[in-house]
Amino acid sequence: MTITLKTIQTHHVPVQYYEGGEGQPLVFLHSAGGITGEDPFLKKLAEKYHVYAPLLPGYGDSEECAELRDMLDITLHTADVIDALGLKDPILAGHSMGGMIAAELAAIAPHDVSRLALICPAGLWLDDHPVPDLFSLMPYEMPQYLFHDVEAGTALMTAGVAIDDSEWLKAYLVRNARQMGMAGKILFPIPDRGLSQRLYRIKAKTVLVWGDSDRLTVPAYAHAFKKAISGAELVSIAEAGHYVTLEKSDQVVAAIGRLG
């Protein structure tokens, strides 16, 4: 499956996006970790859909955008991207931070989004289940929160890592500052920008996908989303963590398929 990196102009900045596959158009919004053209989940999606996966400004080597400061800016920018791609009411899917943006967009423009897939989205806060502070985690501490199979997840995250090479480290710090700096506008220090009071507006047919072993946004959040979005269906996936997209790609694609 060929995934191609393309660029499209939007009001604020040129936006990079990955495109591939054929079928119904589906827009996939990535998590705070970002996405590449090699992403196995993206490839799986592209086997079934015509996938568009735009990068938030600052992700990959895309241009940063200082004008995007808060959730409304970012949500409207995402609507701009979908417009610029010439899409009308595509299936809207998002993972984690991307799920939060997708939910915001579906709440703000309920008549423009009729099918919504939220894969362990961020955006809510439950005092009894505080989300770990992703921003202060050292890289080696992350896999335990992100994967069901921590060992395999660690191997995935540390492939190609050369922490003793100062050039590699500088490039890593720059990438991390660009990407997570952008993510911080949405998620720091608490990933709650008031979404809970807007979820009632969502009219889309919604499927929630959650890994049973998600230790970043624990399954209690799945139930909070389900309760808040009328008619939402929850698909819980066994032996999968926050990166359910990587750990159980096929099941996530199948769950999205329930949107028709």
Partner 1 sequence: MKFTWFNLMPWPYLPDDFREKHRSVWVDIDSKLFDPAKSHEVYNMYMDLLEYASTLGFDGVGVNEHHQNGYGIMPSPNIIAAGLARRTKDAAIVVLGNSIALYNPPVRVAEEFAMLDCISGGRLVAGFPVGTSMDTNYCYGQIPALTREKYGEAHDLIKRAWEDPEPFAFNGRYNKLRHVNIWPRPIQNPMPIHIPGGGSVETYDFCIDNTYSYSYLSFSGYIRAKALLQGYWDRVAERNTPDESPYRAGFAQTICVAETDEEAERLYSEHVSYFYNRCLHVYPGFADAPGYRTIKTIQSGALSQYAPPKGGYGTLSWKDLVEQGHIIAGSPETVRQRMEELIKGLNVGNIFCLLHVGNMPKDKCMYSTKLFAEKVMPKLRHMFPDYADDDRFWCKPLSRRVTPGDLPAERDLAGLMAGKD
**Interface residue list for partner 1 (CB under 8 A):** 64, 66, 69, 133, 135-138, 141, 166, 170, 173-174, 176-185, 188-190
Task: Tell me if 32 sits within 8 A of 183, measured CB to CB.
Answer: yes
Based on CB atoms, which residue is closest to partner 1, 185 or 215?
185
Q: How far is the CB of 181 from partner 1 (least distance, A)?
A: 3
Based on CB atoms, which residue is closest to partner 1, 72 or 220?
72
Q: How far is the CB of 149 from partner 1 (least distance, A)?
A: 24
Number of Cβ atoms within 10 Å of the Cβ of 105: 25
Amino acid present at 115: R
Tokens found for residue 6: 């393309």
Return d(Cα 114, Cα 132) in angstroms, integer.
32
Distance of CA 87 to the CA centre of its chain: 19
Based on CB atoms, which residue is closest to partner 1, 32 or 228?
32
Q: How far is the CB of 172 from partner 1 (least distance, A)?
A: 10
Q: How far is the CB of 182 from partner 1 (least distance, A)?
A: 7
Compute the chain's Rg from CA coordinates.
17
Based on CB atoms, which residue is closest to partner 1, 1 or 173?
173
Q: Which of 198, 219, 197, 216 is nearest to 208 (CA)?
A: 219
Based on CB atoms, which residue is closest to partner 1, 66 or 159?
66
Q: How far is the CB of 256 from partner 1 (least distance, A)?
A: 30
Q: What does the DSSP assignment read for 30-41?
A: --TT---TT-HH
Q: Taking the CA of residue 15 as centre, how many other CA atoms within 13 Å lie in the half-sphere pointing to its CB?
A: 25
